[in-house]
Structure 1
Amino acid sequence: MLPDLEGWAVFARVAESGSFASAARTLGLSPPTVSKVIARLEHRLKTTLFQRSARHLSLTSAGVACLERARRMLADGEGLEAELREGSVSPRGTIRLAAPMGFGLDILGPVLPEFMDRYPDISMEIDLDDRTVDLLSGRFEAAVRITPGDFAPVTNGGAHLLCRSVMRLVCSPQMKERLGTIEKPEDLSGNAGLLYANSDLPDLLRLTHESGQQASVRLRSRMMVNSGDMLLPALRNGSGLALLPDFMLRRDLDAGRLVEVLPKWRGSVLSVWFMVVGCGATRMQMPARLRVLLAYLEQALGGKISQDYSAAQEKTR
């Protein structure tokens, strides 16, 4: 039998939008039709892809395993049709992109050279800023935004999930030795903190144990800045503790320059979105240059969904 390509496309859109109703609006279908397509796909696979409740929709472990390949199938199909309609298989033009400073330096910077090699007729203008820039000013046609949890950013175009990250509490090995025995978050109260100023309450750390238990701890500010990258030298120097996204910390953790404090506790889960500005929510409504960038970033960053996040999701099912 041929694969159920329609089913996989609808599955990808439901997972991306977070609900059957939102996916139905994006696809121009009714919610019952979307529900029937997913039920048909699950029956065909003899497995459940979504965990459903009255207020929440989440992926099962089988759904998580299938999502990235389903998104690629959808992106490839939409991109092929749109390029053929436009009469061009070589996207061209300038992409004006806004992105957070840390994510741009640590994640986008290393992966974009291959994209530029692949599409020599596309040029890029990138603005890195941790502040939320005005996307209606006309300066940008796309942006990368990071939100807590699964909340999609509000946009007049479309928001497409790229990857997820987890906030980790870290310090230098020397500072961890000075801290002595730390068994629970409250044991850290009043310690020196290296704080991210764009948080609502920079000195108050909200943490969740792998069991689901929640706690908060207030640190004493030693440094507060609006760029997570500027905190890294002070972290390595042992000047304080910080709660930062794992994409920013991975190289230092792997090299042993930083270590986790209370490794069974985590900060919030972050979702990274690709937003398009001033065009429709579907890929087919995007200019070809944005479509291929989105497809490339989905492929390049899809494997960066935190293993810790996936494990945490598994424990809650």
Structure 2
Amino acid sequence: MKNILTFILSIQLKRSKFVQQVNGFTLIELLVGLLLAFLVLTPLLAFMVNILSTDQNEQAKASSEQEIQTAVDYIANDLQQAIYIYDKTALTTNSSTTPASSGIQDQIPPVNIAPGCNSSTTTCQPILVFWKRTFLPAAITLSSSTTANTTSDTFVYSLVAYYLIKDSNTTWSNAARIARFQISDGVLAASGTTTGTIGNCTGYSNDTYIKNSSNIIQCPDAGFQRFNLNLASATGLTQKMNSWKATASTAYTQQASVLIDYIDQTSIGSTTLSCPTSTGGSTTTTPSLISGTFMGFYTCVDVANTTAQVFLRGNALARLRTSNFDYSSTNQTYFPTANVRVQGHGYLFAK
């Protein structure tokens, strides 16, 4: 009996050793395996992190380049219908009863406050301000006794302003941004228009305006006032346009809408900006340089030739960092630029 028990026990011990050798690892084996995995995976992880970081940087650059080019194309298209562009003197001088010394600084945002552009709460600097003809499709309803109602297109005058904005609004980036402000005239009624399709607007008692298809009078935007080319006290087009004043009794309600974010907010500081000589028609002039506090947006305006050159510079670093994203010679690839020179082809009509 004793021999039988000894034999069974020896068999069980051998089986236990065999199972341990087949199904498990020793602690030393596990440590060696972990060390090898660390030596292999660490360089691979660093490589992958570097690839992802590079890809993120390139995506930020590409996005900024595309947005800057889109913005400059939009502004160029807007300027094509310009009939008059204000220079720096007009934008930095308040209105006066003397046309020769008058400007529009206090007639437009931010001095004359508009939603999104308020001098008391934000840096909102006018860089490009002009009058243009705005196309309105199907704005006039036509009717006759023999045909169904049809519509006709028309143009109205609009005052357009582009602003460079930098503030603490968390909706936007920590860099600067560009906003667009516009106020437009209503659809004036032509002589002979029937009484049932016209009406008067508050503050514009001398004019009649056409009603749209919903029988609503198409009035001017709040604060809008047409420029006066028949101003007897003013000499020349510049004095007449610089004497423009908004409607005094009505505050602006039009929003200064953001066109593009992530504009370079690096301070101009001691940087010297200059404008190229402009040649148009029979005149050669040095355009008026209009800039704000930051490098991201400035213009060169030639009033005589109704021409403006627009310069934009984006900031891709602001997409990647929350601080330390000013321009320098070592990171200039993150600051894409674009510029365009446009001559306005709109025309003036005075009755």
Say whether the fold is shared (TM-score over 0.5).
no
Q: Larger Cα Rg: Structure 1 or Structure 2?
A: 2
TM range (shorter): under 0.3
Greater relative CO (CA pairs within 8 A, separation 6+): 1
Name the structure where helix makes up a greater proportion of residues.
1
Please report the TM-score for the alignment, with normalisation by the length of structure 1. Answer: 0.25
Please report the TM-score for the alignment, with normalisation by the length of structure 2. Answer: 0.23
